[in-house]
Structures are given as C-alpha cells and as structure tokens.
Amino acid sequence: MSRCLPGPMEKAFNRANEMVINSEDIKIYTHIDCDGISAGAILSSMLDRLEKDHEIEFITLDQIPDIEIDNELSIFSDLASGQDLDKNIENMSTSSSKILILDHHPPFRKLGYNPALKGEFLEINPHHYGIDGSFHISGGGMSYLLAKTFGFKDLSWIGVLSAVGDMQNNLSGKLTGINKYILNDAVEEGLISSVNDLSIYGRQTRPIFVALSYFGDVNLPITNNKTECILMLKNLGIPRKNGRKTRCLCDLTQEEKTSIFSELMRMLSREVPSKYVKYIPRLITGESYDFLAERKYTPLRDASEFSTAVNACSRNKNPEVALKVLKGDRGIVLDAMKDLSHEHRRYLAERIEWVEGDDRIIHLKNLQYFNGNGIKQEVVGTIAGMILSHGDWKKPIIGFTDIGDDKNGVKVSLRCSRLLAYDGINFGNIIKKVAKKVGGTGGGHSVACGAYIPEDKTNEFLKLFDESLNGRLA
C-alpha cells in the first residue's frame, strides 16, 4: 500500500479491507465534528463505490453507551478508542456482528484486545504503533488509509481537510507525519496545491483588510480594528481593490505578502516579551492548502475555510449538509452550507458581544475566565479563542457553560496564544490534572483543550488552575 505505515499497521488495514469486502450490511458511527464528518464522507464514498449498502450516523461521545449494535459490520470512526464498548457488545442483537474502530484518540484498550464476540473485533489506532495521533494523523486520515487499500487515492483531499479541521497543523504550521503522506497523495492526484503563505485566515473569501483585523495570538494595533488595517495597507502601498473588486490574500503578489510579513514581524517584535521573539515567524507563516477542483473565492477552495464551513454544519446539528458537499454535491446544498455558516458567525458574534459588553471576563493572577452559561457547549471554546484575541493574550482564557439537560455539570474550554505553547506549556496536560482533582475529566491540545467538571466545583477548579500556573507565564 504505502511505505509510510509500520508493517503491522498496514496488515491491520488489510484485515479491515477484508471485513468490508465480506460484509453486506454496514453501519458507520462517526463523530459529529469536521474530522468525524470527513471520516464519514470518505467511508461512505468508499462503500458507494464498492456497492455496499450502508447507513451513517453522526454521534457525540456520550451517545456511545446507548448504541444497539445490530448490523453485520459496525464501523466507528474518529471515536470509540477512548470508550468502553463491552456493554454494547454484550447487548448485541446478532452475535456474529463485526466491529471495526478507526480512531486516532488515545486508546483505552491495548493492541490485540479481544472481547467475547463471535464475530470480529478490530481496532486500528496509530498510538498502538507508536504514531502520534494528535498531530500526525486524524480520524479522516485513518478512514482514508482504509479507502486507499481499495485504490481510492482520490479521496486523499478529504483526509487533508480532516487533519486541518482537527487543527493538526496549527502549531507547526504544516502537516507532518502520516498527514504528510496523505497530502502527497492528494498533490500527486492533482487535487491539492500546498503553498507557503502568510497564515492569515480567510485567504479566499475575506477582503485582506478584514482578514488582517482578525489577527490573534497577540493583540496588535490592527487586531479587531479595520481602520488600522486599511491604514497599514496604505502605508505599505498595497491596493485594497483590483478595479471594483476587493482583494483577498490569494490575490496578493509575493512582494506584497513579503512586505506584510515584515510589517507584522516589526509590530510583533515590539509587542511580545523578548523570550517569545524567536517564535514570531511561526505565528505568521505556514503551509496553506488549496483544493484545486474548487472554485476560487469560495470557502471550499481553502482547507481552513472549508473546515470552518463543515464545523458550522456540525455545530448547527446539520452534519448531513456537509456530508453531501464532501461527497461531491455542488448543487443547492451549497446554499444550505452557506446559510449555516452565516448562522454560525451570527451566533458567535452575538455571544461574544454578550460576554464582552457585559464585562463578564474576570482576571485572576495567571488566567482570565468568563461564565458563559447559556452558550452552546460546542462553541464555548471558539468564543473563548475569539475573545482572547481582543484582550490579554499573555494569559490563557477559560470559558465555561452549563451542559444543560439534567446533567449536573459544566463544560470548560481553554484557549491560549500559540506563543505560550511554543514556550513549553501544555495546557492539555494541566487541564487533565486539575479536572481530575475536582472529580471531572479533561484533555486536549496545548492551546485548545477542555474539561467536564461538577457544577459546584467551578470555583475550586479555577483556583487550582490559577495556582498551578504560578511562575510559568511571561
């Protein structure tokens, strides 16, 4: 198949290939986020081409215990490695059912785990083969590796999208590990062009002065200030329009990009403590990925923008729209996706206004937080990240919100500037420890992580978190 995989892992994919070939009634359970939807799209496209009957269901982790397995083959993608399936297996309606897990999250079972099951149980997880699942491969990537065993290399672009959706390129500025092999497949297929560019979001759809105003990580004079951005472009001699059309980052010449780079370098060097200066280039440049089959000036052309559009669908509980687009539908479903993106942005703006306008941000010694009760738990992290870029970037920000339903718990989300992570702080590890101390669970990446904690422990959680950071920030 490919020289990129350890031999035993490649063998596991060949076994998975056989499980698919030998099954006629298949159900896919996939995570309802950009990575999970991408994984579902890859698997569903693969099964369509193999003319295999299948269903697909988008789920959240807490729904797993309620799943009644009653298909010949159940595939779990982008989830289930961290969840106990023994109860589901016990209650299976047909004892000969087969289970295939394609996940990249830290696995809770050991390699070769074999439950009491007449059918077959196969879990493929990169961690079992010494491969990092946070940055080197996504759930969509794992699904693509299975599709590739059938020769469907043209689905590789979705594997790239899923990695970007999981922010696996966020810290290093590029795709690495197996993600890079998947990217190479897509480049070879003529589906993606990978370019070194300014890492400013909105390359295809945002006017350049708007894109610049969203500069995060460090709060600069241009951040959240379009007038300053217009002035900056004027001083650099960069026209905002091409005739009557507003220019986006993708319209700029190399020379113009270089002068923006230098100006950002200058601004940032003035703003950040000296120990961070060496990390500045990593903040402002990185690889970007263009999907060559998509139209220019649409959000589908750029991997970051496409992943945001997919997330907008999932966060409005409408993953089917994104699934159709990923499977190739470019008809009216695109309008639905556009509406959902619009609705997503409107919701975020309104909630940010609510948090900021009401002075809900409270500063502790080493962190800042807001009580976002009422905010949908799926977006409290996104909102925290956007608020961070308007305020004090030197401290991490924590937002929390009630989970709703009858569950007596709070969802906590943390975001911080990448500079803190480059300097060696891993908030994913810290939040895991602190959440555990108050009887909750947590985890995630160094710059984006979260936890669920009991509601009456919120203050204790914040206090412990604050104390754990003493002497660690600039």
Question: Is residue 450 involved in binding Mn ion (CB under 5 A)?
Answer: no
> Using CB under 5 A as the criterion, what x/- string covers residues 166-185 for binding Mn ion?
x-------------------
- Could you give the CA distance from residue 127 to residue 137 in angstroms, rounded to a whole number? 10
> Of the two residues 20 and 137, which places its CB atom closer to Mn ion in the complex?
137
> Of the two residues 163 and 337, which places its CB atom closer to Mn ion in the complex?
163
Contacting residues for 64 by C-beta, under 8 A, at least 6 apart: 29, 79, 80, 83, 85, 88
Only one residue has tokens 């993600």, namely 179
Minimum CB distance to Mn ion, residue 420 (Å): 23
For 43-73, give one letter per residue: b (16+ CB within 10 A) or e.
bbbbbeeeebebebebbeeeebeebebebbb
Minimum CB distance to Mn ion, residue 177 (Å): 14
The residue range among 28-36, 244-252, 318-326, 383-391 that interacts with Mn ion, by the rule CB under 5 A, is 28-36
Quickly count: other Cβ atoms within 10 Å of residue 12's Cβ. 23
Residues 129-168 that bind Mn ion (CB under 5 A): 139, 166
Q: What is the dihedral of CA 304, 307, 312, 318, to 10 degrees?
A: 170
CA atoms within 13 A on the CB side of 267: 21
> Of the two residues 78 and 290, which places its CB atom closer to Mn ion in the complex?
78
> Of the two residues 139 and 299, which places its CB atom closer to Mn ion in the complex?
139
Residues 418-447 that bind Mn ion (CB under 5 A): none
Minimum CB distance to Mn ion, residue 320 (Å): 19
> Of the two residues 119 and 140, which places its CB atom closer to Mn ion in the complex?
140
Contacting residues for 156 by C-beta, under 8 A, at least 6 apart: 144, 148, 182, 183, 185, 186, 189, 191, 192
Annotate 153-196 with DSSP letters as a single string: GGGHHHHHHHHHHTTTTTTTSS--THHHHHHHHHHHTT-EEEEE
- Could you give the CA distance from residue 452 to residue 413 in angstroms, rounded to a whole number? 9
> Of the two residues 61 and 236, which places its CB atom closer to Mn ion in the complex?
61
Minimum CB distance to Mn ion, residue 35 (Å): 3
Minimum CB distance to Mn ion, residue 126 (Å): 11
> Of the two residues 166 and 263, which places its CB atom closer to Mn ion in the complex?
166
The residue range among 71-79, 121-129, 244-252, 436-444 that interacts with Mn ion, by the rule CB under 5 A, is 71-79
- Could you give the CA distance from residue 129 to residue 13 in angstroms, rounded to a whole number? 13
> Of the two residues 35 and 197, which places its CB atom closer to Mn ion in the complex?
35
The residue range among 31-39, 225-233, 241-249, 305-313 that interacts with Mn ion, by the rule CB under 5 A, is 31-39
Residues 75-104 that bind Mn ion (CB under 5 A): 78
> Of the two residues 137 and 220, which places its CB atom closer to Mn ion in the complex?
137
Minimum CB distance to Mn ion, residue 105 (Å): 7
Minimum CB distance to Mn ion, residue 166 (Å): 5
Residues 189-228 that bind Mn ion (CB under 5 A): none
Minimum CB distance to Mn ion, residue 104 (Å): 6
- Could you give the CA distance from residue 465 to residue 433 in angstroms, rounded to a whole number? 9
Q: What is the dihedral of CA 42, 46, 51, 55, to 10 degrees?
A: -30
Minimum CB distance to Mn ion, residue 310 (Å): 12
> Of the two residues 307 and 389, which places its CB atom closer to Mn ion in the complex?
307
For the chain, the helix, strand and coil percentages under 3-state DSSP, each to the nearest 5: 45, 15, 40
User: In this chain, which residue has its C-beta nearest to Mn ion?
Assistant: 35
- Could you give the CA distance from residue 454 to residue 470 in angstroms, rounded to a whole number? 24
- Under DSSP, is residue 2 helix (H, G, I), strand (E, B) or coil? coil
> Of the two residues 139 and 173, which places its CB atom closer to Mn ion in the complex?
139
Minimum CB distance to Mn ion, residue 168 (Å): 9
- Under DSSP, is residue 5 helix (H, G, I), strand (E, B) or coil? coil
Minimum CB distance to Mn ion, residue 138 (Å): 5
Beta pairing partners, 287: 196
The residue range among 32-40, 209-217, 242-250, 354-362 that interacts with Mn ion, by the rule CB under 5 A, is 32-40
Question: Is residue 35 involved in binding Mn ion (CB under 5 A)?
Answer: yes
Size of the site for Mn ion (CB under 5 A): 4
To 5 degrees, how large is the angle CA 180–CA 444–CA 179?
Answer: 5
Residues that bind Mn ion (CB under 5 A): 35, 78, 139, 166
